Amino acid sequence: MSRYRIEGGRRLQGEVTIGGAKNSAVAIIPAVVLSDGVCRIENIPNISDIFVSFEILKALGAQVRMLDPSTVEIDPRTICSHVVPHELARNMRASYYFLGSLLGKFGVARVSMPGGCNFGLRPIDQHLKGFTALGATVPPMIENGMIEASATHLIGNSIYLDVVSVGATINIMLAAVKARGITIIENAAKEPHIVDVANFLNAMGADIRGAGTDVIKICGVPHLYGTSYSIIPDQIEAGTFMAAAVATGGDVLIKNVVPKHLESISAKLQEMGATVEEIDDMVRVRMDGPIRHCNVKTMPHPGFPTDMQPQISVLLAMADGTSAVTDTVWENRFRYVDELRRMGAQAQVNGKVAVFEGVPMLTGAPVKAYDLRAGAAMVIAGLAAQGRTEIDDVHYIERGYEYFIEKLRGLGAEICRVDIPSPYAKRA
Catalytic residue numbers read 117
In angstroms, what is the minimal distance from the CB of 49 to ligand EPZ? 8
Based on the shown chain and the rule CB under 6 A, indicate whether residue 298 belongs to the binding site for ligand EPZ.
no
Based on the shown chain and the rule CB under 6 A, indicate whether residue 148 belongs to the binding site for ligand EPZ.
no
Return the number of the residue (117 or 253) whose C-beta is nearest ligand EPZ.
117
Give the residue, chosen from 86, 122, 286, 341, that forms a contact with ligand EPZ under the rule CB under 6 A: 122
Q: In b/e form, how buried is each residue of 302-329, taking b as 16+ CB within 10 angstroms? A: eebbbbbbbbbbbbbbbbeeebebbbeb
Compute the distance between CA of residue 46 and CA of residue 65 in angstroms, rounded to an integer. 14
Q: Which stretch binds ligand EPZ (CB under 6 A): 99-107, 139-147, 165-173, 405-413?
A: 165-173
| Cβ neighbourhood burial of 382 (10 Å; 0-12, 13-18, 19+) | buried
In angstroms, what is the minimal distance from the CB of 418 to ligand EPZ? 25
Compute the distance between CA of residue 164 and CA of residue 366 in angstroms, rounded to an integer. 37
Give the residue, chosen from 136, 166, 287, 343, that forms a contact with ligand EPZ under the rule CB under 6 A: 166
Compute the distance between CA of residue 238 and CA of residue 151 in angstroms, rounded to an integer. 40
Task: Say if residues 3 and 394 touch (Cβ distance below 8 Å).
Answer: yes
Give the residue, chosen from 234, 237, 307, 398, that forms a contact with ligand EPZ under the rule CB under 6 A: 307
Number of residues written out for the chain: 428
Q: Does an H or E element contain 371, and which?
A: none
Return the number of the residue (202 or 240) whose C-beta is nearest ligand EPZ.
240
The single-letter code of the amino acid at 261 is H
Q: Which stretch binds ligand EPZ (CB under 6 A): 105-113, 163-171, 265-273, 343-351?
A: 163-171
Task: Say if residues 264 and 302 touch (Cβ distance below 8 Å).
Answer: yes
Based on the shown chain and the rule CB under 6 A, indicate whether residue 53 belongs to the binding site for ligand EPZ.
no
Compute the distance between CA of residue 334 and CA of residue 332 in angstroms, rounded to an integer. 6
Based on the shown chain and the rule CB under 6 A, indicate whether residue 261 belongs to the binding site for ligand EPZ.
no
Based on the shown chain and the rule CB under 6 A, indicate whether residue 168 belongs to the binding site for ligand EPZ.
yes
Task: Say if residues 35 and 226 touch (Cβ distance below 8 Å).
Answer: yes
**Which residues form the interface with ligand EPZ (CB under 6 A)?**
22-23, 26, 93-94, 117, 121-127, 163, 165-168, 189, 306-307, 329-330, 372-373, 400
